[in-house]
Structure 1
Amino acid sequence: MPASPPSDQPLEPSGIDWDAGGIETELGWSLQAMSQGFARIATGAVADVPGGPRGYQVLVAITTEAPTSQLVLAQRLGIDKTAMVYVVDALEGASLVERRPDPRDRRVRQVLPTDQGRALLGAARAALRGVEGQLMRNLSPEEQEQLRRLMARVALDSGAVESCIGVVADTEQPVASPHLSARRRRADVRDTTPPEKSTPS
């Protein structure tokens, strides 16, 4: 069988032949390979944070977004509610966060960072950026920034994507946009009491 004629288009620096349609061109393969590679090198960067990557994400969220409850945090980060309790307990035990009553509704307890928590987050964030640079070492700084922005946009919309058979994709927890209005956030925080069940007549 004669070999296929060489393509007129030169291969990109990575050596991927997009016209061949190999496994490298599949988004699912790329996402999985990136996730596995990131997990291998990033775990050490957040090793000093109780709860590991989940504890790190909690610290990022509570230091960059409006104060909110543990329940809303769990929904925001896509973490199981029970697991979130253990993560916040561990962070609080290390004096990295504290729970305070919400001044608007004292039945709700907000999760807030301490000065010690902010300091540890800064150190962990710097270490994480270093290993992220290793993972993306074959990209220019401009390409790295573009990749971050594109992936963030896709991630924010992923919870609303329907599957190929028309059924809403099954995710552990919905991921809320960080751009929710303050009014919507306050409503979410207050909405922690389950509705009463109707009594059958």
Structure 2
Amino acid sequence: MAEVDEAVETHAQPAVPGDLGWNLGMVLRGYQVLFEDAVEGMPSGIRGYQVLSAVVHKDPPNQQALGVHLAIDRTVLTYLLDALVSAGVVERVPDPTDRRARKVIATAGGRQMLSAYEKRVAVAEAELLSGMADDEAKTLGALVTRLAHHVHRADPGTSPCEAMDHLQ
């Protein structure tokens, strides 16, 4: 019980400027390690998962909007999509509103793949949050979501992929 009280006291101490960055970096690094393991075997790894997830859950109107949403350079996105098309998880179809543009849609196999990988990612996220009570984890999730949207609105070009790439 003394360990718990000591841990609570440690958390109650005033934050030192710079601690937020260190704390976020540690959490992000821990998340990256678990996430990489969870998406092992996914075409193009983490980025492939993010692209497929965005295609399924965000339904961007075209390939350009997908790149903007994920803050992925269009050249890089082209290579990612090529890999996902080759794997049979997405296809490019003409945008119904602009025949010059392409819409990216998930195949039935891609939706099944995403569903399986989402379960693996959920387990990884639960493992990362296992040091917290359920209500604390839900609160943290809500607060991080709100903060992420605030940062994204202030700098829409911010790339979460780059942040993960630069952790090393």
TM-score relative to the length of structure 2: 0.82
| Cα offset, 1:54, TM superposition | 0.9
Q: Is the 8 A contact 1:51 1:87 kept in 2?
A: yes
Q: Is the 8 A contact 1:80 1:173 kept in 2?
A: no
Q: Is the 8 A contact 2:60 2:66 kept in 1?
A: no
Partner of 1:19: 13
**Structure 1 residues 105 and 153 mapped into 2: Cα distance closer, same or farther (>3 Å)?**
same
Are residue 62 (structure 1) and residue 47 (structure 2) matched? no
TM-score relative to the length of structure 1: 0.70
TM-align CA RMSD: 2.3
Q: Is the 8 A contact 2:152 2:158 kept in 1?
A: no
Q: Which amino acid aligns with 1:35?
A: L
**Structure 1 residues 126 and 26 mapped into 2: Cα distance closer, same or farther (>3 Å)?**
same
Structure 2 residues not aligned, in runs of 5+? 161-168
SS at match of 1:110: strand
**Structure 1 residues 22 and 96 mapped into 2: Cα distance closer, same or farther (>3 Å)?**
same
Q: Which amino acid aligns with 2:122?
A: R
Are residue 80 (structure 1) and residue 73 (structure 2) matched? yes
Partner of 1:144: 137
Q: Distance in 2 between matches of 1:102 and 1:79?
A: 20
Structure 1 residues not aligned, in runs of 5+? 1-9, 162-168, 175-201
The higher radius of gyration belongs to: 1
Q: Is the 8 A contact 1:67 1:112 kept in 2?
A: no
Q: Distance in 2 between matches of 1:65 and 1:159?
A: 16
| Cα offset, 1:66, TM superposition | 3.0
| Cα offset, 1:16, TM superposition | 2.1
Q: Which amino acid aligns with 1:57?
A: Q
| Cα offset, 1:12, TM superposition | 5.1
